[in-house]
Amino acid sequence: MACVNPNEIMTPIADEFAPARVVASETMYEGLVWDVRRDSVDLGHEVVQRDLVDHPGAVAVIALDEEDRLVLIQQYRHPTRMREWEVPAGLLDVPDEPALLAAQRELAEEADLHADSWAVLLDYATSPGFTNETIRIFLARGIRPVPEEERHERTGEERDMPVRWVSLDEARDAVLAGRLHNPHTVIAILAAHAMRERGWRDLRPADEPWALRQALRDAASRAGSA
């Protein structure tokens, strides 16, 4: 049996931000939203090359009404060739726009909704093996419609998106049955369901600094100048 250090048991488990030194960096592909970068990374014992998708990050919103129903929109996603049911979400592609304002904008543009109450539900990195994309998921309550004359004109995949209100329990069951596949939607639903079981007592302020995303953007900037 392995020996367990009792001090380690007392330490809360948490990821550690500890960037390795980038000795060289090259942009292999410059895209409309994200780039593909090749970094030469000094691991201490050797230098390796790693390709990554340099992503600006995104926000998502799980909006609940007074009956604990959440709003879902159905959008075509070409890489998976599916029309996915998703919570409202969008890229952080407006320079210097705070994450909360981006989330409020996306909820209004994609679901024609405003919310009076906002909180951070959770933050996560979508796929650390190949991208630095991070997503902040907000919980929005006190839902009210955007006035008709103020509604956003949608284009592309967002045009004529179906909208559906689903109970949080039904959404959880759909996730566990494998009927929903969008990652931020899956995570948001399960997290909201778990948080409701805790009486919503561990929600974070909506304007809490997003340390992970800032650290990753700073690291990307340094790599780009390597």
Catalytic residue annotation: 158
**Structure token digits, residue 205:** 């302020």
DSSP 179: -
Tokens of 114: 């405003």
- Decide: 106 and 99 in contact? Cβ < 8 Å: no
List alpha helices for 11-162, DSSP H.
99-111
- List the structure tokens of 4: 């367990």
Question: Could you give the residue ranges of the DSSP H alpha helices within 57-182?
Answer: 99-111, 168-176
- Indicate the residue type of 76: Y
Spatial distance between the Cα atoms of 190 and 183, rounded to a whole number of angstroms? 11
